[in-house]
Amino acid sequence: MRSPSHAAGSELGPTIKNMTTASENRLAGLIAKIDSREARIGIIGMGYVGLPLALLFSGQRFRVTGFDVEQSRVDKLNAGASYIVRILPSEIQEAQRVGFRATADYSEIAQMDAVIICVPTPLNDHHEPDLSFVTGTVKSIAPWLREGQLIVLESTTYPGTTEEVVVPLLETGNPRSLKVSRSLDEPGVHVAFSPEREDPGNTDVARHDIPKVIGGCGPASTQLASAMYDAIFRSVIPVSNPATAEMTKLLENIYRCVNIALVNELKQLCMRMGIDIHEVIDAAKTKPFGFQAFYPGPGLGGHCIPIDPFYLSWKARQFDFRTRFIELAGEINTAMPYFVIEQIAATLNEQRKSIKGSKILVLGVAYKRDIDDLRESPSLTIIELLREKGAAVAYNDPFFATVGRGRQYDLDMTSAPLDNLGKYDAVVIVTDHSTYDYRAIVEQSQLVVDTRNATKGIDSPKIVRC
């Protein structure tokens, strides 16, 4: 998808046309390989980010190899099967027809022209960045590095990770003592950071329409990475260096986190004042400038918004800087599941009941509507808190037949059928999946606690919105 925005050369140094040295010719050769689709692309981490990315490259006729440490994922992909609901097996099979395959064997890195790292970047038990997946991956690929290869980190992380963590591990871990190329005429390995900006479940914006921000460890890295992503994205946005690209991703997610905290706080105030926060937001968003609507809910979920701000707070401390705004937003959002519990308790109290001994059905365990991802989902916290208080808790979620054990929860539950809802003392809507018939749910239930405004437009004394 060559586009006018493929202008890395003009902004960041001489263009390929002007190149003269051997290194520059090599770079031009690599870009020609991308243009002709001969370049082989390796993607490490076949998860929610890596697998769709692999399919995008396959869709543009690149031969893609997906690397993953989980053998079961490798086997499924090679059998033409999918383990992500929104990716159809037919899409995997179509990619296979242009050469897509998966492997757990890192020695195949040597055959790749570009390697893109999409492994998890969670927090550890102390709420600090856990870069072990990134460092483990980089250590595994370093022995197989080749001159001229492009390595791109896509995992969300704090500014400085690419230069301070990835580059040293690549340079010290490869047996040929290859260095990262810092200028157009310097040979070596090319390294860049390019954040993944996907919004799972969002069907309004196609992935290839999301502009791709790229920060290389020098002009050659930026040019090469820009050429590669330009083949699959409508526009690429080169920035000065990897740290700028790393910070761009964090700014975007922190912007969301802070604004969601703001509406979560205002929701609580509005409830006390007898004002409907959703009506307020709907009115405010008619302003054609200076306002973007964010919506309150039961707390943050997913692999990004609840986690990424802590990456920056942690890094900021190295600079003797406290990110007070971010920490306050985190505090408000983290407290939301507890607020939901208070609301359930107050609602049951009105009925002369307590949480202890009540039968409660939680609707939705996915962290947001219509997706099969329950990482950091507020539902999990709400279920655990209800159980701790003595409720008999059941859940229903069309995307999860069972919920077992994760990094921070141990539930061992099976999705309950959506019938006989009258047997529950309360039905709590935590995830507003679009397949639910909310009117029927309200009709059949004794009491509905709605944390998502999913019952908007339904008038019933059984509904408590919070």
Ligand X SMILES: NC(=O)c1ccc[n+]([C@@H]2O[C@H](COP(=O)([O-])OP(=O)(O)OC[C@H]3O[C@@H](n4cnc5c(N)ncnc54)[C@H](O)[C@@H]3O)[C@@H](O)[C@H]2O)c1
Q: Using CB under 6 A, list all residues that contact ligand X.
A: 44-50, 67-70, 73, 118-121, 133, 136-137, 155-156, 196, 198, 200, 303-304
C-alpha span between 55 and 61 (Å, rounded):
10
Strand segments, DSSP code E, in 104-149 are 114-117
21 vs 71 by CB, closer to ligand X: 71
Q: Closest separation between CB of residue 418 and ligand X, Å?
A: 27
Residue 130 vs 276, nearer CB to ligand X: 130
Q: Name the closest residue to ligand X (Cβ).
A: 47
> Rounded distance, CA 64 to CA 58, Å?
6
Q: Which amino acid is at 182?
A: R
What is the β-pairing status of strands 190-193 and 150-153? Answer: parallel
Residue type at 285 in one-letter notation: K
Whole-Å CA distances, 241 to 166, 315, 461: 14, 17, 57
Tokens representing residue 462 in the block: 């059984």
Query: Looking at the DSSP assignment, which residues form a beta bridge with residue 183?
Result: none
Closest distance between ligand X and the C-beta of residue 304, in Å? 5
Select 196 or 432, whichever has its Cβ closest to ligand X. Answer: 196
- Rounded to a whole number of angstroms, the minimum distance from the CB of residue 258 to ligand X is 18
Q: What 3-state class would DSSP assign to 7?
A: coil
* Minimum separation from the CB atom of position 405 to ligand X (A): 16
Question: How would DSSP label each residue in 287-324?
Answer: SSSS-------S---SSSTTTHHHHHHHHHHHTT---H
User: With respect to ligand X, which residue has the nearer C-beta, 66 or 219?
Assistant: 66
All residues at 6 or more sequence positions from 126 whose CB lies less than 8 Å from its CB, including other chains? none
Alpha helix ranges (H) inside 84-166: 89-97, 132-141, 161
Tell me the closest approach of the beta carbon of residue 207 to ligand X, in angstroms: 11
| Residue 155 and residue 121 in contact, taking contact as beta carbons nearer than 8 Å | yes
Residue 304 among the catalytic residues: yes
Quote the least distance from Cβ 291 to ligand X, whole Å: 25
> What sign has the CA pseudo-torsion 334, 335, 337, 338?
positive
- Comparing CB distances to ligand X, the nearer of 68 and 113 is 68
- Which is nearer to ligand X, 141 or 466 (by Cβ)? 141
State phi, psi for 355 to the nearest 5 degrees. Answer: -60, -45
Of these residues, 118, 270, 304, 466, which one is catalytic?
304
C-alpha to C-alpha distances, 311 to 9, 273, 326, nearest whole angstrom: 32, 36, 11
Catalytic residues: 304
